[in-house]
């Protein structure tokens, strides 16, 4: 929430665990090694993930999200909005800056499915 107490998220988040492979993007390309993480929640505009490595605010990352019953991972690029140390690693808030249109539709379907279960 913002300092005024208003929600700043563009889309509602849903608690859903998905496997994530991420790479830090730098000038000239991406880090050669990907890291594993898992989402704590996700929406059409971003996600929160639990990662083993700290990511700096405003860093850009390439993301591959594994979704059950999907043939290929969802692909996205995001910007780190915040990163907090926890006992289990780092909670990282990411705002999507690029998402394939078909993947945005898949996230919408996932959101509808999870909301129906709540």
**Residue 2 pLDDT > 60:** no
| CB-CB neighbours of 108 under 10 Å | 13
Please, what are the domains in the chain?
A: 19-117 (2.40.10.220)
| pLDDT tier at 10, thresholds 50, 70, 90 | low
* pLDDT tens digits for range 32-61: 899 999 999 988 789 999 999 999 999 999
The structure tokens 């849903």 sit at 14
Which residue from 64, 62, 15 is spatially nearest to 39, judged by alpha carbons? 15
Output the pTM of the full model.
Answer: 0.81
């Amino acid at each position: 929430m913002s300092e005024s107490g208003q929600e700043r998220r563009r889309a509602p988040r849903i608690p859903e665990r998905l496997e994530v492979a991420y790479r830090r993007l730098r000038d000239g390309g991406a880090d050669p090694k990907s890291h594993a993480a898992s989402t704590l929640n996700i929406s059409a505009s971003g996600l929160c993930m639990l990662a083993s490595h700290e990511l700096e605010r405003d860093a850009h990352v390439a993301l591959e999200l594994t979704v059950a019953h999907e043939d290929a991972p969802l692909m996205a690029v995001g910007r780190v909005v915040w990163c907090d140390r926890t006992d289990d690693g780092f909670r990282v808030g990411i705002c999507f800056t690029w998402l394939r249109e078909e993947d945005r539709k898949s996230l919408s379907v996932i959101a509808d499915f999870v909301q129906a279960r709540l």
